[in-house]
Amino acid sequence: MITNGQRKKLGKERLQRVIDVCRSVEKGLDPFSIDIDDIITVVREYFPDWDLPEELCLDAEAIHQLSSVIELQSDWVKRRSTSLYTDPFLLEEKIQLLSKEEIVKLFLKAWDPIVELEQMSFHSLTQSLNYWASLLPLSERWQIIAPLKVDAGATTREELIKQRIFVEKTFSETLEAFWEELKKKIDGEDRIRYWDFIGADTYLKTIERAYMTSFLVTYGYATLEIFRLEEEIFIKPFKKQRSLLGKKQMNSIPISINIEDWRKWRESKQE
């Protein structure tokens, strides 16, 4: 006669084995190797005996692990059904039942050759001979061409500037003139909106002014004040050029100058 304590001990051991077997499925065991009906019978058999919290937790854990196995079985069936999976043993049996003629026909339907055979023909040889026969001799093809003689002449500085060999102003002179323009445009204030300074009548001119403004900031003629929350950018000129190199880390600040922003700026100025 098995006592109540012995029955509980046996039930706990069986539930623990159920949990261990179900967990082994997550490690690679075939989920269909688990007998779901047998596990449910074990859980149902010992459930009325549990009255302590740890016993009920063990029972709940067994149910939880069993549900995980059922979920894995369901996923397996879904994957096989969506990928048109066919059991290899069924395929082997079908192939064995086919005749040689039927197998050959199926192979020809599925065959997609990727190999191409190329070989010289009489026609291609004739074309090659005609090509080489039409070429000039090497002595004529490799003939040294004498350099052209050009009479030397004189030119003017204005002509060289027009041909962009010389520039009318050096870059530093152009940059300082741009700096003076910025100081005049602030009109008594200490800063000006970025777009109000670089904005021009054409988009190309606006790009050129933004390019020059980047050098003003880089070479210490001015600085940018950025207010990210208000999405506002101001440029503030210095009274004297400041050398920032070696004093602090220089940060690159990318500013988008696209044609849509330029059009919005133009429209706001025309209102």
Burial class (CB in 10 A: 0-12, 13-18, 19+), 199: buried
Q: Residues 109-144: pLDDT tens digits?
A: 887 777 666 777 888 888 888 888 888 887 777 766
What is 171-270's CATH number, 3.40.47.10, 3.40.50.2300, 2.40.30.30, 1.10.10.580? 1.10.10.580
For the entire predicted model, the pTM comes to 0.39
Q: How far apart are CA 83 and CA 77, in angstroms?
A: 10
Please give the pLDDT value at position 53.
Answer: 86
User: Which residues are bridge partners to 122 per DSSP?
Assistant: none
Please give the pLDDT value at position 139.
Answer: 76
**Contact 15/42 with Cβ under 8 angstroms?**
yes
Q: Which percentage of the chain shows pLDDT scores above 90?
A: 0
Burial class (CB in 10 A: 0-12, 13-18, 19+), 43: middle
Please give the pLDDT value at position 1.
Answer: 63
Phi, psi of 226 (to 5 degrees): -115, 125
Per-chain mean pLDDT for the chain: 79
Please give the pLDDT value at position 249.
Answer: 44
Please give the pLDDT value at position 225.
Answer: 87
Tokens of 137: 């001799």
Q: What are the domain boundaries of the chain?
A: 4-82, 171-270
DSSP 143: P
In the predicted model, residues of the chain with pLDDT beneath 50 are 246, 249
Edge to edge, the sheet with strand 192-193 lists 192-193, 232-237, 222-227
